[in-house]
Chain A
Amino acid sequence: AQTVTQSQPEMSVQEAETVTLSCTYDTSESDYYLFWYKQPPSRQMILVIRQEAYKQQNATENRFSVNFQKAAKSFSLKISDSQLGDAAMYFCAYRSSQGGSEKLVFGKGTKLTVNP
């Protein structure tokens, strides 16, 4: 079974600075998808960014980018120019592309605090 590990329970960053959240995963599959979701205090789960494993190019969405290292099974999230609204729980998630369910397997999350 696939597992996702987020080794940083909490992180903090100064407003306008850059922060990187770590995520590693374990799988025997070669084709899969990876996601970062954000959960602000409102509890809503919001998709931040996604990466297809067959793509070598790292995904980017405005201030958010990933560093996808397939061989190392690492998928970190970089937030540039951090804003107060970025404060939230961030969850890394894995989805298989093969038969069965498209369920998401989540890490335990990293709580990000943004200091003014």
Chain B
Amino acid sequence: DSGVTQTPKHLITATGQRVTLRCSPRSGDLSVYWYQQSLDQGLQFLIQYYNGEERAKGNILERFSAQQFPDLHSELNLSSLELGDSALYFCASSVGERREPKNIQYFGAGTRLSVL
């Protein structure tokens, strides 16, 4: 068990809908990362938050947004869903110190999103 909790494990929804994925980081970790894993794109970084503030954005669509709350849990919101958004969405957490070799990212079990 990595200590990172993601809910729900599975999500099935229809095109055009909006969903929220939730992530609770490991105790003490300040950084949360979101990744998308799909067959055609592989594992891609979406966005990172550090202690409530956005630190970096990757290949995240404008229809997607995220936030990190004061208790450090994070939510990824996906709206106007399309078939191509079907993927495994991972959350990872780390202490968030840039030059710290021990700044290892620990991954949650992922949320499998199916858009029908």
Known: A45-B107, A52-B101. A106 touches B43 (CB 8 A): yes
Interface of B is mostly: strand
Size range of the interface on A? 20 to 34
B96 within 8 A of A: yes
A47 within 8 A of B: yes
- Which residues of the partner chain B approach A37 to less than 8 Å between Cβ atoms? 107
Size range of the interface on B? 20 to 34
- Which residues of the partner chain A approach B99 to less than 8 Å between Cβ atoms? 97
Most B CB contacts (10 A, CB to CB) among A43, A46, A99, A105 go to A43
- Are the C-beta atoms of B103 and A102 separated by less than 8 Å? yes
Q: How far is the CB of A109 from chain B (nearest CB, A)?
A: 7
A91 within 8 A of B: yes
Q: How far is the CB of A31 from chain B (nearest CB, A)?
A: 8
Q: How far is the CB of A110 from chain B (nearest CB, A)?
A: 12
Q: How far is the CA of A103 from the CA of B60 in the complex (A)?
A: 13
B31 within 8 A of A: yes
- Are the C-beta atoms of A43 and B88 separated by less than 8 Å? yes
B-binding residues in A (CB < 8 A): 33, 35, 37, 42-47, 50, 52, 91, 97-109
